């Protein structure tokens, strides 16, 4: 599927992955350096520190922030303009973005019903993940489904 005005295929997905990567880098650095501030209000509902230090902020010994960083590094590589030339990676991109989205649904559930607080930085990552899935699906869907 060609992009309008000669833009590289998958450019939107690549840019979204880079934004998600940037936020994930910040969250990972903040996780390992408590002196950094999350620049997030600490109210009853919005409280980044409560979310990022909760018992659910790790998957075993691995911080969720680091898992997000790894996810976005992989997706940025898979969604880079040169990678879009390999149609064989289309399924890998879709599966990767879908796994990210399932993870987001779980993490939002944890924020809302277990931690009882929302992290604005995490929400940024969640929005990027959902937008990435939409962009990847948009780019991998044939322009004319009847053409096969």
Please give the chain's pLDDT, 148 residues, in tens.
Answer: 444 566 677 899 999 999 999 999 999 998 888 776 767 777 788 998 899 999 999 999 999 999 999 999 999 999 999 999 898 999 999 999 999 999 999 999 999 999 999 999 999 999 999 999 999 999 987 654 554 4
Q: Which phi and psi angles does 62 have, rounded to 5°?
A: -100, 125
Q: What's the CA dihedral at 105, 106, 108, 112 to 10 degrees?
A: 130
Integer Cα distance of 142 and 21 in angstroms = 28
pLDDT value of residue 143 = 54
CB hemisphere CA count around 45 (13 angstroms)? 1
List the beta strands (DSSP E) in the chain: 58-59, 62-63
Q: Give 2's DSSP letter.
A: P
Single pTM value for the model: 0.87
Q: How many residues does the chain have?
A: 148
């Amino acid at each position: 599927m060609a992009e309008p005005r000669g833009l590289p295929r998958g450019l939107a997905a690549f840019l979204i992955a880079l934004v998600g990567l940037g936020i994930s880098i910040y969250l990972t650095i903040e996780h390992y350096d408590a002196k950094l501030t999350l620049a997030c209000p600490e109210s009853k509902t919005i409280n980044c520190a409560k979310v990022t230090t909760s018992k659910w902020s790790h998957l075993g010994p691995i911080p969720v922030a680091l898992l997000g960083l790894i996810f976005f590094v992989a997706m940025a590589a898979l969604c880079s303009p040169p990678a879009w030339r390999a149609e064989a990676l289309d399924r890998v991109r879709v599966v990767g973005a879908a796994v990210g989205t399932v993870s987001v649904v779980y993490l939002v559930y944890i924020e809302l019903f277990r931690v009882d607080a929302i992290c604005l930085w995490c929400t940024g990552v969640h929005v990027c993940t959902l937008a990435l899935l939409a962009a990847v699906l948009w780019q991998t869907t044939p322009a004319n489904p009847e053409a096969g």
